[in-house]
A and B are shown apart, each in its own frame.
Chain A
Amino acid sequence: MNETRILTNEIYDAIVIGSGISGGWATKELCEAGLKTLVLERGRMIKHIDDYPTMHMDPWDFDNRGEKSKRILERKSKQNRTGYTTHPASQHFFVDDIDHPYNEIKRFDWMRGYHVGGRSITWGRHCYRWSAMDFEANKKDGHGVDWPIRYTDISPWYDKIEEYIGIQGENMDLPQLPNGKYTTPFEFNCVEEHLREQIAEKFDDRIIAHARTAHITGDKVHEGRSKCQYRNRCIRGCPFGGYFSSLSSTLPAAEKTGNMVLRPNSIVHEIVYDASTKLATGVQVIDANTKEETIYSAKVIFGCASAIATASILMQSKSKRFPNGLGNDSGELGHNIMDHHLGVGAKGTAEGFDGKYFKGRKPAGIYIPRFRNIDSKTEHKDFIRGYGYQGGASRSNWSRGVAELSYGKELKEALLKPGTWSIGMGGFGECLPYHENKMTLDYNKLDAWGLPTVTFDVEFKENEKKMRKDMQEQAVAMLKAAGYKNVSGFDNKSSFFPGLGIHEMGTARMGRDPKTSVLNKHNQIHAVKNVYITDGACMTSAACQNPSLTYMALTARAVEHAVKQLKENKFKNA
């Protein structure tokens, strides 16, 4: 395929690989700094609003009421491991597993969205800051390597991101969950409020907080976007721009500068390295449709393709200087894969609220911040690190009647009424960085573009298992203490596989020492300073908070650094 290589004459100031949540931010910040920026997205073009085909569909508008078709289940069998991504409302935002295969030595649930905007369209939208203790955790207990940054390095960038994207929530003054820039939180419904009061009364080590999510509430203007309309159809794409995505926010902002060139269907598979300057000169791209090869050149490159894809690109970028992949002097590239473990928690029913209801479907509920291993008082004997819970309360619908044998007029009319209140919570647990949790490339199994496929060899281990036990027990204990009925714990064994949290991290971690890490404190590859990696690949530990906010903050921070380097003419690669 090298015969058809085209070398474009234009040299961009910057190339951003990927247009998801990190790529969108890199692009906006680079363009607003006046840099001519090329964004390369491997998937198809998607336009905000125009390309949200299901955004207004009601249950009866879907063929077979939204049941997954056999064809989708055949084509997307791995994407279907989540259970929800393949629903007809959102399946078009997740890849075809037959066209995009990968291999598993151990099961790894790799959920991908190949299109402009990436998974920023379908993300969970929860935004919790990492705390000082999260950046110090590796150093403290010796797992993984020490983060090269501390909370104070990132905190102003959290401020910036939060104010720009709009996050509803409430400051709770907790050391393990720092305050941020939030707008009016979604109110608790009556049962959530009841739980909050009960937990406040019966536990002194934990609280019920508002979930913090990237939805607009309040009156601050966010250009081109409007307030959350309480439809709770975020995953389909929001025609109101009620939640943050690259499509609703960062890419339009970048486009407005006139500095952005967005090229979809562009599969970056290699970063080109020049040994004479010790810098990268550009990227090699295959057009997803024509399969034509092109090399695009730039002064600086941002890797934002997502943790696994970015590592795959670096591993494919082999040269005499880097025979094991670009920047892989440490041998850590593709290792230390982390995700959050979930699918464990408890649920119950609440009595005494039958006269109460709500109007509107808020897209977030409660958050229970980590309460284990915060200090000496909260140390748990069986595991290190911690977990948080997300959850909420609601009333059941007609489906509560399915398990019965009743029939007739009374049944019909009873099921038209709101059902029992139920309340539930599910944990998000931290996963430690294990060197042996890794991905490799299989050059014997090539994809349709002749590129090697990714093979996963990743598993959760003892610390996660022990933590999980506590996650279920504490969820049950809280719901019981609050006085709910029919309380039952759950630990979905089919959820205990890495990947399912869709928070892949760690494949090119940041660190202080080039011998044990891939990136430095500015997200630069230690030995190739004009390549910045700011997606999940850069994460040195996983904490238990949803990570996108941290990717965005690290990205904006890294761009500022890169822009400064360019101004000082530090990247003389051409």
Chain B
Amino acid sequence: MDRRKVLKNMSLSLGFAVSAPTMLSILNSCTSNVATWIPSFFTETEGHMITQLSDIIIPKTAIAGALDVHVPAFMDKMFNEIASESQKETMKEGATAFANTFKNVFGKDASAGSKKEFETVLATYFDVPTDQQKQISEMMNQNKSKLTGKKLNTFLIYKFLTETRRYTLYGYYTSELVGETILSYDPIPGHYEACIPVEDIGNAWSF
């Protein structure tokens, strides 16, 4: 049985409760700030990629970040159970395109990439002027099957990055921790106040 299968089986029997030391002894490529989870839809390398990226997109500050609410595990489960076949396919192709680019840039496997290196790549794709952002969004609305070569590669990388970003926001802002303790939480308001100063509430209502 290969290592991935061992990990998958562990995941099935133990859920996400595998302790950090156990995980780290197996997944020696993981860095210490990575939450304990075992990818199932994603490969280990892809798991590392989305972990690093989600941590950059919603970092931990004085306020909890994406990894504190297990965004990578959430993404993995959503892609396994909810995503359409074409969404899955594009995500996988995008991850591969991203990993290849990463290797070309840094001369090493993405699975060994540092947070700094991921930040560098993400900045290349996301830190773009507003007018260029419009072009990017138009480019991403194209039909994948009509693209080839470099265009296809760019398309796929943006798909991978924007999907990762989307699921990071989704997983973070709808999580229990954020919903109950960071956003304003009021499951049974009991009464209605129609128009009050926003300072009286603070952060947005969680729902």
Taking beta carbons and an 8 Å cutoff, which residues of A are in contact with B?
Answer: 56, 58-61, 64-65, 67-70, 186-190, 193, 229-231, 354-362, 395, 397-399, 401-409, 411-413, 415-419
Query: A69 to chain B: which residues have CB within 8 Å?
Result: 81-82
Most buried by A among B56, B191, B195: B195
B183 with A416: CB separation less than 8 A = yes
On whether A409 and B195 interact (CB within 8 A), knowing A58-B207, A229-B188, A229-B190, the answer reads no
Of all A-B residue pairs in the complex, the 3 with the closest CB atoms, nearest first, are: A360-B189, A360-B192, A187-B194
* 8 Å CB interface, B160-207 against A: 162, 165-166, 169-176, 179-180, 182-183, 186-198, 200-201, 203-207
Out of A58, A64, A186, A398, name the residue touching B77 (CB < 8 Å). Answer: A64
Can you offer 29 A-B residue contacts whose CB atoms are under 8 A?
Answer: A59-B206, A59-B207, A60-B175, A65-B171, A65-B174, A67-B78, A69-B82, A70-B81, A187-B195, A188-B194, A189-B195, A231-B187, A356-B195, A357-B197, A359-B189, A360-B191, A362-B192, A397-B173, A398-B204, A399-B173, A405-B133, A405-B162, A407-B165, A408-B59, A412-B58, A413-B61, A415-B173, A416-B203, A418-B201
Q: Which residue of B lies closest to A57 (CB)?
A: B187
Shortest distance between the CB of A391 and any CB in chain B (Å): 16
List the A side residues contacting B74 at CB < 8 Å.
Answer: 65
B179 x A60 contact (CB < 8 A): yes
Using CB atoms, name the residue of chain A closest to B136: A405
Q: Which residues of B contact A358 (CB under 8 A)?
A: 192-196
- The smallest beta-carbon distance between A420 and chain B, in angstroms, is 11
Report the Cα distance A364→B37, complex, angstroms. Answer: 42
Contacting pair B197 A355 (CB below 8 A): yes
Give CA–CA (A68, B82) in the complex, Å. Answer: 7
Are B57 and A408 in contact (CB-based, < 8 A)? yes
Q: A70-B81, A193-B195, A359-B189 in contact; A65/B173 too (CB < 8 A)? A: no
From B137, B166, B170, B190, contact of A65 by CB (8 A): B170
**Cα–Cα, bound, A417→B122 (Å):** 25
Q: Closest CB of chain B to A183's CB: distance in Å?
A: 14
Least CB distance from B11 to A in Å reads: 17
Q: How far is the CA of A230 from the CA of B187 in the complex (A)?
A: 9
User: Shortest beta-carbon distance, B190 to chain A, in Å?
Assistant: 5
A190 touching B59 in the complex, CB below 8 Å, given contacts A359-B201, A398-B173, A416-B182:
no
Distance between B174 CB and nearest chain A CB, rounded to angstroms: 5
Whether B204 lies near A395 (C-beta < 8 A) is: yes
Contact call B195/A415, Cβ cutoff below 8 A: no
Q: Are B128's CB and A405's CB within 8 A?
A: yes
Closest to A239 in B: B188
Minimal beta-carbon separation of B176 from chain A (angstroms): 4
Bound together, the chains give a CA A360 to CA B65 distance in angstroms of 27
- In the complex, the chain B residue whose C-beta lies closest to that of A240 is B188
* Minimum CB–CB distance for B186 against chain A, Å: 7
12 further interface pairs, Cβ-Cβ under 8 Å (given A69-B82, A187-B194, A416-B203): A67-B82, A70-B81, A70-B82, A357-B200, A360-B191, A405-B165, A407-B56, A408-B56, A412-B65, A417-B204, A418-B204, A419-B204
Knowing A58-B179, A188-B194, A418-B198, say if A403 contacts B137 (CB, 8 Å). yes
Please judge, given known A-B contacts A231-B189, A356-B195, A360-B193, whether A411 and B57 are in contact too, CB under 8 Å: yes
Min C-beta distance of B82 to chain A, whole Å:
5
Q: Which of B86-110 contact A (CB under 8 A)?
A: none
Question: Within the complex, what minimum Cβ distance (angstroms) separates B85 from chain A?
Answer: 11
Q: Which of B61, B170, B173 has the most CB of A within 10 A?
A: B173
**Distance between Cα atoms of A413 and B187 in the complex (Å):** 22
The reply to whether the CB of B14 lies closer than 8 angstroms to some CB of chain A is no
Alpha-carbon gap, A405 to B170, bound state (A): 15
Q: Tell me the nearest residue of chain B to A63, going by C-beta.
A: B81
Q: Check B169 against A398 for contact (C-beta < 8 Å).
A: yes
Proximity bits, B25-64, A CB within 8 Å = 1, else 0:
0000000000000000000000000000000111101010
Q: Are B126 and A230 in contact (CB under 8 A)?
A: no
| A230 CA to B195 CA, complexed, in Å | 15
Give the docked Cα–Cα distance between A405 and B135 (Å). 12
Q: Are A59's CB and B174's CB within 8 A?
A: yes
**C-alpha spacing A434/B64, complex, angstroms:** 60
Query: In chain A, what residue has the closest Cβ to B57?
Result: A407
By a CB distance below 8 angstroms, the chain A residues around B126 are: 405-407
Residue with the greatest number of chain B CB neighbours at <10 A, chosen from A395, A406, A412: A412
Task: Point out the residues of chain A lying under 8 angstroms from B57, CB to CB.
Answer: 407-408, 411
**Closest residue of B by beta carbon distance from A362:** B192
Known: A355-B197, A399-B169, A416-B182. A187 touches B192 (CB 8 A): yes
Partner of A359, one of B78, B182, B196: B196
Provide the bound-state CA to CA distance between A230 and B193, in Å. Answer: 10
Q: Which residues of A contact B65 (CB under 8 A)?
A: 412
Partner of B166, one of A402, A409, A416: A402
| A359 and B192 contacting across the interface, CB-CB below 8 Å | yes
A59 surroundings in chain B (CB, below 8 A): 174, 179, 206-207
* Complexed CA–CA distance, A61 and B201 (Å): 24
Instruction: Determine the chain B residues whose CB is within 8 A of the CB of A418 once the complex forms.
Output: 198, 201, 203-205
Most buried by A among B74, B125, B206: B206
Q: Which residue of A lies closest to B195 (CB)?
A: A190
Determine the distance from Cα of A69 to Cα of B77 in the docked complex, in whole angstroms.
12
Residues of B with C-beta under 8 A to A403: 137
Q: Which partner residue on chain A sits nearest B80 by CB separation?
A: A64
Please name all residues of chain B whose beta carbon is closer than 8 Å to the beta carbon of A404 when the two chains form the complex: 133
Which residues of chain A come closer than 8 Å to B81, judged between CB atoms? 64, 67, 69-70
A56 to B188, CA, bound (A): 9
Chain A residues in 8 Å Cβ range of B186 = 359-360
Q: Which residues of B contact A409 (CB under 8 A)?
A: 59, 61
Cα–Cα distance between A354 and B201 once the two chains are bound (Å) = 13
What CA separation (Å) do A535 and B122 show in the bound complex? 59
Q: Find chain B residues with CB under 8 A from A193 CB.
A: 194-195
Most buried by A among B81, B176, B194: B194
| Distance in angstroms between the alpha carbons of A388 and B13 in the assembled complex | 56
Assess the B198–A355 pair: CB atoms within 8 A: yes
